[in-house]
Chains A and B, each alone.
Chain A
Amino acid sequence: ETGVTQTPRHLVMGMTNKKSLKCEQHLGHNAMYWYKQSAKKPLELMFVYNFKEQTENNSVPSRFSPECPNSSHLFLHLHTLQPEDSALYLCASSQDSNYGYTFGSGTRLTVV
């Protein structure tokens, strides 16, 4: 366990479904991140939240919708996804910019 918990671990969804990914950290960190990890590509930063405020949206399609109700929880709401959205979605948290990230184990998403 890393202190950053992601659920579910695996998710298969159709293109018309709506689902949500959940991330939870109890490390007292004040920043949380969503990354997308695809084969043979660098980790792609999707969203950044600092103190519950979204500070970056890295040109992510609107079919991905983040939510950060408090500094310990982060969600990624998914709807009408495409097969190319299949990937490992990683959540991370950090104390501040002087530290590295603590990553969760990820959610393996398959869009069919």
Chain B
Amino acid sequence: AQSVSQHNHHVILSEAASLELGCNYSYGGTVNLFWYVQYPGQHLQLLLKYFSGDPLVKGIKGFEAEFIKSKFSFNLRKPSVQWSDTAEYFCAVRGSQGNLIFGKGTKLSVKP
């Protein structure tokens, strides 16, 4: 079955620290990959997406993600986090039926 694994349930960082959130997927076909963010009390928002081309994808608010096909990974990174990045982050892959399959999410808490 297609699935997405996010290994970190809760990550706590200080401001200005670098961030990397892991995401691995199990799907052998052409992949469309996404990262969504959910700020406290708000809706899910698209951070970035990968369909094809350059495996290093830049998104909004300074986030980027790298697609590594050999590792089935699509890790999210940010060089220097801010308190306002406190949120829950969801990785997703488009499945064979065209629907998005989400991971369990990673909560990021940034200490000021």
Contacts and interface: CB of A to CB of B under 8 A. Distances in A.
Contacts of A97: 32, 94, 98
A53 interface: no
B51 interface: yes
Interface of A: 2, 4, 33, 35, 40-43, 45, 48, 55-56, 90, 92, 97-98, 100-106
Determine which residue in A33, A55, A100, A104 has the highest number of CB atoms from chain B within 10 A of its CB, and name it: A100
B4 interface: yes
17 contacts: A35-B102, A41-B104, A42-B103, A42-B104, A43-B90, A48-B97, A55-B97, A56-B99, A90-B43, A90-B44, A97-B94, A98-B32, A100-B36, A100-B46, A100-B49, A101-B100, A103-B44
Contacts of A35: 102
B43 A106 contact: yes
Contact of A105 (B32, B43, B103): B43
Contacts of B36: 100, 103
Contacts of A104: 43
Contacts of A43: 90, 102
A102 B70 CA distance: 30
B89 interface: no
A105 B42 contact: yes
Contacts of B9: 40
Determine which residue in B9, B102, B103 has the highest number of CB atoms from chain A within 10 A of its CB, and name it: B102
A4 B45 CA distance: 12
A43 B4 CA distance: 11
B43 A100 contact: no
B44 A42 contact: no
Contacts of B43: 2, 4, 90, 103-106
B51 A33 contact: no
